[in-house]
Amino acid sequence: MKRLALLVATAALASACVSPAAHQRTQADADAWKGKALGYERELAARGSELETAKGELAAARSSLEALHNEKNAAADTFARVEADLRGKLAAAEEKLRSAEAQIESLKASVKDLQASSESSQSQLTKKVASLIAEKDGLAQKIAEAQKAVADLRAAKDAQIAELTQKLNAAIEEKTQLQQAKSAAEAAKAEAEKAKEAELARVRQSYEDLAAGLKSEIQAGEVKLTQLQGKLTVQLVDKILFDSGSDDIKPAGRKVLGRIGKLLNDVPDRDLRIEGHTDNVPISDELRGRFASNWELSTARATAVARYLQDAAKVDPKRLVAAGFGEYRPVASNDRPETRALNRRIEIALVARE
């Protein structure tokens, strides 16, 4: 912004020594630079918003990670309580089984002692033994079921722990990716800002070099420089290059194009798009044999300028593009002679290499 202010101040100081029209063009150029700087500030603000969004996503990932830790700890506590309860029941059942086995052994001894004395007593004892055996089998079944429940619970606990561990690892990986994305975004932002500054400096230097090299033509109103959104354009009025209805470059025009070509050779990283433009006055009958319309005339003039830059100024032809727009891209109204003259022009735009 300081450089822009300095440029505007310089333009204002220069306006005291030039015509009003030149002052207006200088003011327009300064306004264009100011608009470019404001655009960069908006883009930097948008990059800052993206960074804040990444920070929010990182905070959400941390919250999810903490919730997973809490869930894992709660599951471990539940398993411990259930396992302790089942172990208690298993111990009680085993104790009861041992007691029943002791009773069976005692009854067997009694049966042996009483067998000789009483068949009826033997029968009753046999039934009691059978009942105790059945009770023993039932307790054994319950023990087996309890053991299976413990095994199932342990398997479920292991599966739950494995699932929570997987979620925890995923959360850690997501956190790592978010951190990497944040670092990449910050690096990309810094690189983009650096590239923009370098590009702005190159465009500014090219503009200043062209403005210094074409100072007399600019002051005479024959050449105009504009810079908008990274595109630098040299605009030449047709009267300095061509006679009316002709595509032959005049000697004065060759001189100007020679100087422009020398300056353009100092900007080798840009393509040159040469555009021919006319007013809306139809081609006269005597010229229709060469040019069917203003479109053909504008294209022929653009091609003639491209050819001259290649042949005389030694501009690399790979950088040159010639295009004719006829009357279809006016910059002023065609209602008056003085405004129609503004539409009859050649523009040489410096654009990024494709």
Q: For 109-150, what is each residue's pLDDT tens digit? A: 885 886 777 677 678 868 887 888 888 888 888 878 878 887
183 with 260, same domain: the answer is no
Contact 264, 315 (CB under 8 A): yes
Same domain flag for 181 and 242: no
314: left (phi over 0), alpha (psi -120 to 50) or beta: left
Specify the pLDDT at position 273.
96
The pLDDT, as a whole number, for residue 8 is 46
How many residues appear in the chain? Answer: 354
Task: Burial-class residue 75 by CB neighbours within 10 Å (0-12, 13-18, 19+).
Answer: middle
Residue 287 lies in a domain: yes
Q: Is 249 helix (H, G, I), strand (E, B) or coil?
A: strand
Single out the residue in 190, 224, 247 at which a domain terminates: 190
Q: Tell me the backbone φ, ψ of residue 230, rounded to 5 degrees.
A: 80, 0
Distance CA 116, CA 34 (A): 125
* Domain co-membership, 220 together with 307: yes
- Are 87 and 172 in the same domain? yes
**Which residue carries 């030149």 as its tokens?**
22
The answer to whether residue 321 sits within a structural domain is yes
- Together in a domain, 60 and 157: yes
Residue 45 belongs to a domain: no
Please report whether residue 65 resides in a domain. Answer: yes
Does 222 lie in the same domain as 175?
Answer: no
- Confidence (pLDDT) at 14: 47
Retrieve residue 42's tokens: 């908006």
168 and 284 in a single domain? The answer is no
Whether 118 maps to a domain, the answer reads yes
128: in domain: yes
CATH code, 167 = 1.20.120
- Give the residue-averaged pLDDT of 253-271: 92
Examine the domain organization and report whether 229 and 328 are in the same domain. yes
Tokens of 341: 């003259």
Query: How far, in Å, CA of 329 to CA of 278, rounded?
Result: 9
- In the predicted model, what is the mean pLDDT of the chain? 84
Residue 300 domain boundaries? 214-352
Tally the domains of the chain: 2
**How does pLDDT run across 4-32, given as a tens digit for each residue?**
455 445 545 444 455 777 778 778 878 88
Q: Which tens digits make up the pLDDT trace of 69-104?
A: 888 888 788 878 878 887 998 788 788 878 878 887
Asked whether residue 6 is assigned to any structural domain, the reply reads no
CB 65 within 8 A of CB 171: yes
